[in-house]
Amino acid sequence: MDASMIMQIRPELTRFLHQFDDCLGRVTTRRYLDLYIEGQLSNLPRKSIEPMADAVGEPPRNLQEFLRLFHWDEPAVRDRLQQYIVRRHSHAQSVGAIDETSFVKKGNQTACVQRQYCGAVGKKDNCVVSVHLGYATPEFYSLIDGEVYLPEETWHQDRDRCRAAGIPDDVVYRAKWQMALDQYRRAVANGMRFAWLTFDEGYGGKGPFLQELEKLGQNYVAEVPVSFVAWTQRPVVLYRATARDRRQGRHRRYPRLKIKNNPKVEVRNILAYSPAMRQIPWQNYYVKDGRKGPMVWQAKRMMVYLAEEHGLPTRPYHLLVARNVLDPDEVKYFISNAPEPTPVETLLRVAFTRWVVERAFEDSKTELGMDHFEVRKFVSIQRHLILSCLSHVFLSEFCGKHRGEKLGPDRLPGPDRHGDAGAPVGSGGPLFAEVRPTHPGATDDNARAKRQSRPQPPSPNHRSFTCPRHQIEEPNQMSLETRVAL
C-alpha cells in the first residue's frame, strides 16, 4: 500500500488497533504500535525497523526499544486478536492449518538460529524456524499464532547462550508438534472452534500428537509419511488370561494383543500390495482450476486401524491415498479420524486447505515483511511474529471487504468466479478447494484451463507447497509376515 492508501485506511486501521489499547499500557507504547503496523502495510521495499522508522521520521532506536524493552503484553495481544476473529469470522466449515516457516540468517547471535532444514531455500541452511497456526473459512484466512522454535542441542542445553540472546529460563525445548498442540489449546481457550485441523507429515507422523487431538475431540486430516504404519484388519485383543496362561502361572497385563496377530503395515505397502486396497478403484476428483489447467487428483480410501498409546487398536480411521493425474509418482497419504460416513470429497477438501497457511506465509513475507526482521533478541522476534499476525488479519479483512466479490446463496464464492486459489490477498477467488468427482476422461496430459487468468503464485498442488519432506519411495521388500498381514 502506498502513502495515499494508508491515509485512506487509517481511520479503519485506528479502529482496529484501538481494541489492543489496554495490552500496550502507556500511550507512548501504543503510538509505536500504529507506526509498526503502518510500516508493515506500506509499500516500502524493505520493512525492517530502520526503513520503517525513516519513512515516518522516527529514530530507529525507538522502534527497536518498542520490540525489545518496552513493557507490553504480547500474549494478551495474541489472545485479543483470536477473540476478535471469533466474533467476526466464526464459520461451520472453518479449518485450522499447522505449519512452520523459516528465516535465513547469517552468524550465530540471533536467538534460536542454527543450521537446519530451511524451507525458504529448500535445503539445510543457517536459519530461524517458527511454528504457526492458521485459520481459514471460505471467506477469510490468516495466521493467528506463531512461536520461535528453540533447538534442543545448540540452544536449550546451553542456558548461558540463551540468556545472552534474551531467552527466558522458562522457555525450554519443545518438539514442534508440542508447540502446535499448545497453540491449538490456546486458540480453543480463546473461543476459537475448528471444524477440521490439517497439517503435513512432519506433524502427522507423530503418534502422540494425533492421540492428543483425538482426546480433545478434534477432527483432522493429517498427511503422513510413507513409513506410517496401520493395521488393515482389526487385531484380536485379549481381555482376560487364557486357560494356558493360567496353567503356566503367567502374569500378563490385560487387555493386550493376541500374540499371533497380523503386524502393522506401512501405508506405501498397503497401497502397493493390499488386496483390499487394490479392489478399490481410483476415482478422479476435480480440485480447482490452476495456472496450467484443471487440477485433478485421483483418490481412494479404505478404513484402517491405528495403535493407541498402549499399543491397542483404535476405532477405524480413514486412510486416504491421492495421486496427481499428471504426475502419478506424486502420491500423498492422509489419515483422518473423521466419522466413517465422511465423503472422500470432504477429506480431500480439508487436505488441500493446508496450502492456505502457505499462502498466508507468502502474504506475510512479500506484503508485510515478516522475514525482513533484523533484530536478534528472542522477545523481539516473538513480538514481531505476533504483530505480523495482527497486520495480516487486518490486511485479509480489508481486502476481503473491498474486493467487491459477489457471493452465492450459501455465502461461498462461486466456482466460476475469476481468480485462482493461489492468488494474492484480496484477489477474489475461492479460498477452499472445490473438490468434486469428475469423469476419468475429463482431463489428460494436454489439459488446459477454460479461461486465462492473471499470473498467480503457485497453485495448491505445486511442488513448492506440497512437496513432502521425504520424497516418495518405492515399496520396500516385505517379509512373509507382512504379506500375510495384507
| Mean pLDDT value across residues 202-224 | 96
Q: Which position has the higher pLDDT, 246 or 135?
A: 135
| Mean pLDDT value across residues 5-30 | 87
Which residues make Cβ contacts (< 8 Å) with residue 27, sequence separation at least 6? Answer: none
Least confident of 13-17, 80-84, 256-260: 256-260
Q: Which position has the higher pLDDT, 202 or 450?
A: 202
- Copy the grid coordinates of residue 317: 480411521
Confidence class of residue 248 from pLDDT cuts 50, 70 and 90? Answer: low
CB count within 10 Å of CB 401 equals: 11
In this predicted structure, the answer to whether residue 427 has a pLDDT above a threshold of 60 is no
98 membership: H or E segment, kind and range: strand 95-104
Confidence class of residue 101 from pLDDT cuts 50, 70 and 90? Answer: very high
* Rounded Cα–Cα distance for residues 384 and 381 (Å): 5
Which residues make Cβ contacts (< 8 Å) with residue 216, sequence separation at least 6? Answer: 184, 185, 188
Q: Which of 248-252, 438-442, 458-462 has the highest mean pLDDT?
A: 248-252
pTM of the predicted protein model: 0.83
pLDDT at site 401: 78
| Mean pLDDT value across residues 215-241 | 91
Confidence class of residue 479 from pLDDT cuts 50, 70 and 90? Answer: low
- Which tens digits make up the pLDDT trace of 387-407? 999 999 999 998 887 765 433
pLDDT at site 168: 95
CB count within 10 Å of CB 336 equals: 22
Average pLDDT, the chain: 84
pLDDT at site 486: 61
Closest by CA position to 101, among listed 130, 123, 141: 130
Q: Which position has the higher pLDDT, 248 or 111?
A: 111
pLDDT at site 243: 65
Say if residues 198 and 155 touch (Cβ distance below 8 Å). Answer: no
In this predicted structure, the answer to whether residue 448 has a pLDDT above a threshold of 60 is no
Least confident of 77-86, 265-274, 344-353, 476-485: 476-485
Query: Which residues sit opposite 129 in a β-bridge?
Result: 102
* Rounded Cα–Cα distance for residues 28 and 342 (Å): 53
Write the DSSP symbol of residue 319. Answer: E
pLDDT at site 253: 73
221 membership: H or E segment, kind and range: strand 220-224
| Mean pLDDT value across residues 153-168 | 96
pLDDT at site 239: 74
| pLDDT > 70: percent of the chain | 79
- Which tens digits make up the pLDDT trace of 333-382? 999 999 999 999 999 999 988 888 889 999 999 999 999 999 999 999 99
Say if residues 262 and 249 touch (Cβ distance below 8 Å). Answer: no
pLDDT at site 350: 95
- Which tens digits make up the pLDDT trace of 125-151? 999 999 999 999 999 999 999 999 999
